Amino acid sequence: MANILTVTLNPALDLSVEIADLTLGEVNRTGNTRLEPAGKGINVARVLARLGHSVTVTGLLGEANVTAFERLFAAEGLQDSFVRVPGQNRINVKVAEPGGRVTDLNGPGFRMPADALQRLEFRLASLLPDCDAVVIGGSLPEGFPPSGLAELVQQANRAGKPVWLDASGEGLKAGVEAGPFAVKPNTDELSGWAGVPLKDMAAVETAIARIRARGVPHVVVSMGAGGVLWSSPTDTLRSWVPPVSVVSTVCAGDTLLAGMLHGVLACQPDDAVLTFATALSAECVQHIGVGNPQAPDFSSLLQQTRVQPWPGENNTGEMPL
């Protein structure tokens, strides 16, 4: 198995709740409720650790409410190498309704200290030699410039480590220009990067081609119920997700990225990589939290997941969402 480094710049404590029907202005009774540390890089790390990899987590972590994060890292077998900064990490509320609709209430977090980027780059310098791949994911904390994210990508590039980037907004724009090995936007994030609505598969393909033209070899676009489109130097593949009962889509993209990286590092065939990652993401949406490769129904989901070359004879250009 591989040694993987994940970078989370803006961690959060996520309060996830299931509710039958959200009624504004009224008292609502919740079902399953869970409070746990999160952030894209942390979520990806948890899945990778469950898949047997050795994972080190780093980034910036607020000191005021750090205990829950430290407990999670110990419980999940993650090596904690976060740079501690003054202030508290965000507290987010995610309300999941039947059918997969999620309402996010995202709170403010710490403001980045002036020396934080320098401290983080120094930490990365000691961690990069021993890792096989780097994942940089999530939003940027207040005061963290998008150019700083680009600097982290370039630092890993100089060390010869492939960077998998999952960001949005200005962070995604700056990160793409820095030349990561792979990017994994969803359709909303890809639309924001492209600056135009993505109304059909042709528009998605055009946006992917623009990113590839900037020197990014791999673009993985998650399209919800429309599956996943993966464009690489060798081919373009599309997966179709098996039918599942959707509870929460919150960690689906992070689980997908972890599944992709797992297969790529193992040098599996492309169709096998995408099948596994898509099926694991489908398992994830059936409950709150990250995907579980040991789930009882995972083998069935694998068998039901379809992957085909894109475009192909039986493929259509329908709206992906």
pLDDT value, residue 318: 57
pLDDT value, residue 182: 98
Which helix (H) or strand (E) segment holds residue 36: the answer is strand 30-38
> Over the range 279-317, which residues count as b (16 or more CB within 10 Å of their CB) and which as e?
bbbbbbbbbbbbbbbebeebeebbebbebbebeeeeeee
Does residue 49 contact residue 293 with C-beta atoms inside 8 Å? no
Is residue 225 one of the residues assigned to a domain?
A: yes
pLDDT of 313 higher than 60: no
14 belongs to the catalytic site? no
- Return all residues near 139 (Cβ < 8 A) that are at least 6 apart: 9, 10, 167, 168, 169, 171
Rounded mean pLDDT, 104-115: 92
Rounded Cα distance between 178 and 172, Å, is 10
Q: Provide the CATH number for the domain around residue 268.
A: 3.40.1190.20
State whether the Cα torsion 281-285-289-291 is positive or negative: negative
The model's pLDDT over 215-237, given as tens digits with 9 standing for 90+, comes to: 999 999 999 999 999 999 999 99
- What is the band of 319 on the pLDDT scale with cuts at 50, 70, 90? very low
Q: Which entry of 80, 200, 254, 297 is annotated as an active-site residue?
A: 254
pLDDT of 3 higher than 90: yes
The model's pLDDT over 55-92, given as tens digits with 9 standing for 90+, comes to: 999 999 999 999 999 999 999 999 999 999 999 999 99
Rounded mean pLDDT, 155-163: 98
**Domain of 99, in residue numbers:** 3-309
pLDDT value, residue 321: 45
- What is the band of 316 on the pLDDT scale with cuts at 50, 70, 90? low
Is residue 159 one of the residues assigned to a domain?
A: yes
Is residue 45 one of the residues assigned to a domain?
A: yes
Rounded mean pLDDT, 165-193: 97
Q: What is the CA radius of gyration of the chain?
A: 19
Number of domains in the chain: 1
Percent of the chain whose pLDDT exceeds 70: 97
Is residue 319 one of the residues assigned to a domain?
A: no
Is residue 321 one of the residues assigned to a domain?
A: no
pLDDT value, residue 163: 98
Does residue 44 contact residue 288 with C-beta atoms inside 8 Å? no
Burial class from Cβ neighbours inside 10 Å (0-12, 13-18, 19+) for residue 67 reads exposed
| Helix/strand/coil for 307 | strand
